């Protein structure tokens, strides 16, 4: 049994999404503020901390409808034909989570209390967890009473106090204000059975949860208790931070008195739960208990002797008297007391040629190493607590209410494991984390008990280590209309390429070879070769300040392969600029040659032929308009191609401009900076380009000279030589086709920011509350 998928509605920016989970490890990826943390929070709230809901967890655009419910109640109050309050009014605006389990026939006994019908014989089984009014009549009555009292108080106020321009506001003004104080008193989470036959796949990334039939009755009790164990490692681990704040959703576990998580605190917790010989001792613990008692007896005797003079001096003051209890010294030793100090956990330091063991306290090791040990140890603790290893098996309360021991499903939520970890350790951790969770004799490859690990991350190194089938991409979407806010849709990347094929193999291998951060960027630039990869970032820094501030990933993919990323880019909805070469040839299968108009030449570039602008004839490509180079998919997503176009170039100071048609980035760069290259001195390709400019006497000769030079040129070396130019400011300008592409991309990102500005990047606001 495992969680097949969840559907979340009306929780923060997750208006209506489906997240498919793999049977083992699922990784949430996406740009900053795309909803990954909200998804983890929704799982945490509904499955573990149901009392943690606040009004900040409601989707912002739903507050208008919620306040309208309160306004309608006010308007209808006292009317004899009023329909009265209804729970149905709240169903479409309050948070809910549909949990869909994959259950085999031999596991039905685990879920018998959740079955929708007696005919159910295994497969998908759904449960809706919904926040709703405990008693809608009570909520109705209390809300109207509070509103009435506030208005009566304002009416009785001195003249002018409750009127414009700044009227005094009393709680509650609206239903939102009422719930900000009284949410826990009037709202609760209830569970309902769902019908697997009415389950509907998402449409355009938007989940379509089934409506509950009228009169549906909630499932009694806590239907998931004893069925799923939930554990969480929060992103805020606060290692070695004495001012660290306790995460209220992390139960304050494994922290010292300062609120800082420490490995020694985790060891104490693990010892108390699984190893303590004083807790339900077994025969194997007797030796340890005898040693503790003997040490305690010796220590008591030593303390009694040491304090005897001081106690006698106190007795000379008249206390204790004959009827007063006498003072004595008695100790109680606990082995974990030895872990309750800064140097309890130490690291051995290896020093060549030194036989003595050198050690340092845990705080003296790097944060990355501490974080790795901390997370692995907590995963081990989660596993052993679930499997009731050691003393926990004897101390577990028989009245815990768990239907099964251990629960058949273990769900672990892990936020941003990359904090403080360098790249290689991030990759090792994500490879080994699930193995740690299954390292038990009753687990391993067995399917009787299931473990599912859900990870949210901003790390391209972690994403790189995972197969596409494990990645879930959170895509930011613009508001759907007036009064709405930006929302999130979730893309299952296992569905990008369909069946296993050549394109999928290429993209998977390419991403693993490049460590690219495509899944976390605001936009992407695909470039042809190493020279563009080196110089395009310099052009951006120099001339495109707004683009420089954005999170743009640059990938060297090559013109003949850029189109292979098309399915992935279109699935991600990632605004992309493709910078590629003309690759002119005499015929489709012919060799590359210098571009010439009117010669019937074609392009060999698959991106230009099959993606944008979908042209093969060279003359058509040279005359294409800007709008033919762009494909717009939706308000936030478009793709543009940029390739070499004809230029008017003045080869010398006295001649007339001539038209030249560059074929590659390098010759376009030279032609676009012809005045610089006329006077530029240097070795290698720079000197050869300068000589070609001076010795050529027309379009054909200069283009052909450039073409011949570039056949064997070291293009990366050429780009590095240009970066070394001593002139300030740097004299090289981007070729015209690249400049036009970067201007387009900067404009697109500006529009995107405006479209998402409602709530995608929240500003810091200082607010005070007077109690």
CA–CA gap between residue 272 and residue 337 (Å, rounded)? 11
Q: Say whether 648 sits in a helix, a strand or coil.
A: strand
* pLDDT computed for residue 252 by the predictor: 45
Task: Give, in degrees to the nearest 5, the angle at Cα 385 between 379 and 389.
Answer: 110
CA–CA gap between residue 487 and residue 204 (Å, rounded)? 13
* pLDDT computed for residue 324 by the predictor: 57
pTM for this model (two decimals): 0.86
Tokens of 688: 């050869």
CA–CA gap between residue 650 and residue 627 (Å, rounded)? 28
* pLDDT computed for residue 362 by the predictor: 60
CA–CA gap between residue 196 and residue 18 (Å, rounded)? 15
| Residue labelled with tokens 């979407």 | 477
* pLDDT computed for residue 761 by the predictor: 42
Alpha-helical runs (H) found in 210-348: 263-270, 286-315
Q: Let me know: does 517 contact 654? Beta carbons within 8 Å.
A: no
Tokens of 583: 């690759």
- The dihedral region occupied by 10, where left means phi > 0, alpha psi between -120 and 50, and beta the remainder, is left
Domain boundaries in the chain? 2-227, 515-755
Tokens of 542: 């120099």
The answer to whether the peptide bond before residue 172 is cis (omega within 30 degrees of 0) is yes
303's CB contacts (< 8 A; 6+ apart) are 329, 331
* pLDDT computed for residue 327 by the predictor: 64
CA–CA gap between residue 131 and residue 229 (Å, rounded)? 21
Alpha-helical runs (H) found in 444-582: 460-465, 502-514, 530-543, 545-549, 566-572
Q: Let me know: does 265 contact 340? Beta carbons within 8 Å.
A: no
* pLDDT computed for residue 561 by the predictor: 85
CA–CA gap between residue 93 and residue 63 (Å, rounded)? 8
**DSSP one-letter code for 606:** H
From residue 511, give the alpha-carbon distance in Å to each of 491, 506, 567, 600: 18, 9, 14, 37
Q: Let me know: does 739 contact 543? Beta carbons within 8 Å.
A: yes
Q: Say whether 206 sits in a helix, a strand or coil.
A: strand
Local mean pLDDT, 10-residue blocks, the chain (771 residues): 98 97 97 94 96 96 96 88 87 97 93 89 94 96 95 80 63 95 97 95 94 93 93 73 41 45 66 72 76 80 79 64 63 62 59 65 68 86 91 60 80 92 88 96 94 96 91 92 89 82 83 84 94 96 95 87 92 96 91 91 94 96 96 94 93 79 91 88 81 70 80 88 92 97 97 74 46 38
Alpha-helical runs (H) found in 410-480: 423-437, 460-465
């Amino acid at each position: 049994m495992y969680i097949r998928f969840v559907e979340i509605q009306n929780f923060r920016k997750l208006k209506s999404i489906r997240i498919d989970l793999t049977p083992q490890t699922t990784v949430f990826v996406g740009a900053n503020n795309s909803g990954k943390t909200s998804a983890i929070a929704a799982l945490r709230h509904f499955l573990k901390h149901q009392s943690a809901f606040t009004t900040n967890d409601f989707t912002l655009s739903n507050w208008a409808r919620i306040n309208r419910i309160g306004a309608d109640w006010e308007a209808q109050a006292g009317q004899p034909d009023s329909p009265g309050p209804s729970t149905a009014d709240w169903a479409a605006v309050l948070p809910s989570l549909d949990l869909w389990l994959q259950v085999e026939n031999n596991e039905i006994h685990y879920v018998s209390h959740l079955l929708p019908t007696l005919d159910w014989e295994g497969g998908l089984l759904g449960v809706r967890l919904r926040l709703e009014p405990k008693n809608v009549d009570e909520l109705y009555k209390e809300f109207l009473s509070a509103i009435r009292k506030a208005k009566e108080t304002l009416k009785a106020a001195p003249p002018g106090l409750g009127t414009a321009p700044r009227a005094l506001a009393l709680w509650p003004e609206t239903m939102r204000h009422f719930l900000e104080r009284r949410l826990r008193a009037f709202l609760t989470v209830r569970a309902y059975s769902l019908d697997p036959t009415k389950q509907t796949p998402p449409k355009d990334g938007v989940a379509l949860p089934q409506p509950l039939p009228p009169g549906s009755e909630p499932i009694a009790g806590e239907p998931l208790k004893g069925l799923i164990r939930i554990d969480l490692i929060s992103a805020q681990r606060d290692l070695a931070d004495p001012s660290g704040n306790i995460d209220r959703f992390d139960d304050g576990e494994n922290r010292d008195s300062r609120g800082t998580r420490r490995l020694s605190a985790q060891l104490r917790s693990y010892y108390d739960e699984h190893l303590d010989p004083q807790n339900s001792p077994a025969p194997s613990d007797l030796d340890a208990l005898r040693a503790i008692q003997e040490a305690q007896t010796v220590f008591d005797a030593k303390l009694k002797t040491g304090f005897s003079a001081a106690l006698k001096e106190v007795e000379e003051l008249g206390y204790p008297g004959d009827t007063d209890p006498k003072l004595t010294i008695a100790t109680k030793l606990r082995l974990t007391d030895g872990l309750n100090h800064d140097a309890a956990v130490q690291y051995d330091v290896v020093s060549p040629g030194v036989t003595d063991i050198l050690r340092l306290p845990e705080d003296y090791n790097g944060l990355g190493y501490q974080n790795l040990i901390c997370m692995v140890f907590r995963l081990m603790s989660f596993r052993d607590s679930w499997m009731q290893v050691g003393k926990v098996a004897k101390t577990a309360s028989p009245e815990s209410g768990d239907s099964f021991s251990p629960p058949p499903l273990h769900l672990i939520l892990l936020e941003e494991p990359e904090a403080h970890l360098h790249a290689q350790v991030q990759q090792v951790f994500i490879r080994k984390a699930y193995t740690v969770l299954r390292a038990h004799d009753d687990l391993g490859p067995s399917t009787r008990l299931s473990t599912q690990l859900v990870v949210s991350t901003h790390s391209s190194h972690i994403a790189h280590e995972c197969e596409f089938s494990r990645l879930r991409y959170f895509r930011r979407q613009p508001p759907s209309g007036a009064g709405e806010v930006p929302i999130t849709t979730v893309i299952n990347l296992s569905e990008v390429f369909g069946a296993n094929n050549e394109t999928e193999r290429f993209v998977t291998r390419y991403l693993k070879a490049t460590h690219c951060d495509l899944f976390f960027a605001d936009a992407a630039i695909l470039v042809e070769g190493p020279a563009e990869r080196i110089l395009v970032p310099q052009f951006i820094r120099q001339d495109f300040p707004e683009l420089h501030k954005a999170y743009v990933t640059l990938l060297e993919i090559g013109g003949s392969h850029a189109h292979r990323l098309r399915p992935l880019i279109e699935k991600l909805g990632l605004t992309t600029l493709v910078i590629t070469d003309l690759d002119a040839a005499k015929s489709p299968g012919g060799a590359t040659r210098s571009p010439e108009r009117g010669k019937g030449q074609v392009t060999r570039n698959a991106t230009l032929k099959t993606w944008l602008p979908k042209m093969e004839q060279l003359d058509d490509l040279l005359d294409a308009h800007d709008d033919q180079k762009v494909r717009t998919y939706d308000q936030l997503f478009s793709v543009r191609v940029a390739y070499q176009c004809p230029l008017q170039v003045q080869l010398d100071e006295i001649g007339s401009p001539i038209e030249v048609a560059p074929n590659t980035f390098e010759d376009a760069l030279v032609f676009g900076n012809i005045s610089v290259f006329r006077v530029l001195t240097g070795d290698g390709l720079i000197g050869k380009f300068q000589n070609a400019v001076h010795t050529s006497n027309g379009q054909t000769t200069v283009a052909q000279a450039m073409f011949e030079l570039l056949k064997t040129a070291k293009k990366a070396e050429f780009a590095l030589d240009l970066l070394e130019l001593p002139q300030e400011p740097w004299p090289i300008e981007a070729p015209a086709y690249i400049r036009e592409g970067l201007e387009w991309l900067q404009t697109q990102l500006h529009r995107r920011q405006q479209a998402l500005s409602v709530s995608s990047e929240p500003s810091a606001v200082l607010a005070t509350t007077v109690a």
